Chains A and B, each alone.
Chain A
């Protein structure tokens, strides 16, 4: 995980950043974080754990999705965006607590 779930609420609750700006800033900040974390997983794990074939097909779908999601953000009201963030946090949080 790239840290988005920490950076988004941090900005909104403590820095007074708007929800949409917070989401967008978070995704930009994730770029260097993921680039730095990737080699750690590669070289410091006992052996590299990456299925390149599967990753390729995930990426084909995800880059299209990421473009669509980013374009969509500007077209949805701030309050509804926060509600989506809250729903995602609840879902992922419950999953981690119940079945870690």
Chain B
């Protein structure tokens, strides 16, 4: 086991922590670990990331089910729909050149962050307005 392998384990741990807590696959952490940290090219990083996501999501997902955090019905519906969409998405990613797609995606994420943040802000405003 080399220093690189040790760093991969450490990076993997933090990516997994993020995955289990936030509920994402972990790809947005796995990919930069490889492209920035280890100079992988984008395609190799994405393929390797996807291979790492499967066991990570399995362990995180099963732990969530055991913890009682999961509404199984909606999760399975989303999983089914998402699997169909995932095939289309993977094909799209392979055949549409990246930068434009990435920028549109980034803008979507920023808008989403704004909307979720707004929700937290509103709740706080409502709570502080009520006698406790």
B112 and A5 contacting across the interface, CB-CB below 8 Å? yes
A86: chain B residues within 8 A (beta carbon): 113, 116-117, 120
Bound Cα distance A26, B53 (Å): 13
CA distance A62 to B71 in the complex (A): 24
Number of A interface residues, CB 8 Å? 80
14 sample A-B contacts, Cβ–Cβ < 8 Å, listed by A number: A3-B82, A8-B23, A21-B69, A21-B70, A24-B75, A34-B50, A49-B43, A54-B8, A57-B9, A62-B12, A66-B26, A69-B21, A96-B109, A100-B106
Residues of chain A lying within 8 A (CB to CB) of residue B110? 89-90, 93-94, 97
Cβ–Cβ contact A79 & B123, under 8 A: yes
Contact residue among A33, A62, A85, A89 (Cβ-Cβ distance under 8 Å from B52):
A62
Asked if A17 contacts B57 (CB within 8 A), the reply is: no
Tell me how far the C-beta of A22 lies from the nearest C-beta in chain B, rounded to whole angstroms.
7
Taken together as a complex, chains A and B put the C-alpha atoms of A17 and B110 apart, in Å, by 20
Chain B residues near A (Cβ < 8 Å): 1, 5-6, 8-28, 30, 32-34, 38, 40, 43-44, 46-48, 50-61, 63-65, 67, 69-72, 74-76, 78-80, 82-83, 85-87, 89-91, 94, 98-103, 105-110, 112-113, 115-117, 119-120, 123-124
Return the chain B residue nearest A89 by Cβ. B113
Interchain nearest-CB distance for B90 vs A (Å): 4
Docked-complex contact A7 and B27, CB < 8 angstroms: no
- List, in ascending order, chain B residues with CB within 8 A of A84's CB: 21-22
In the complex, are the beta carbons of A66 and B116 less than 8 A apart? Answer: no
Residues on A facing B (Cβ under 8 Å): 1-5, 7-9, 11-13, 15, 17, 20-38, 40-42, 44-45, 48-52, 54-55, 57-74, 79, 81-86, 88-90, 92-98, 100
Give bound CA distance, A34 to B99, whole Å. Answer: 23
For residue B112, which residues in chain A have a CB less than 8 angstroms away from its CB?
A: 5, 9, 13, 89, 93
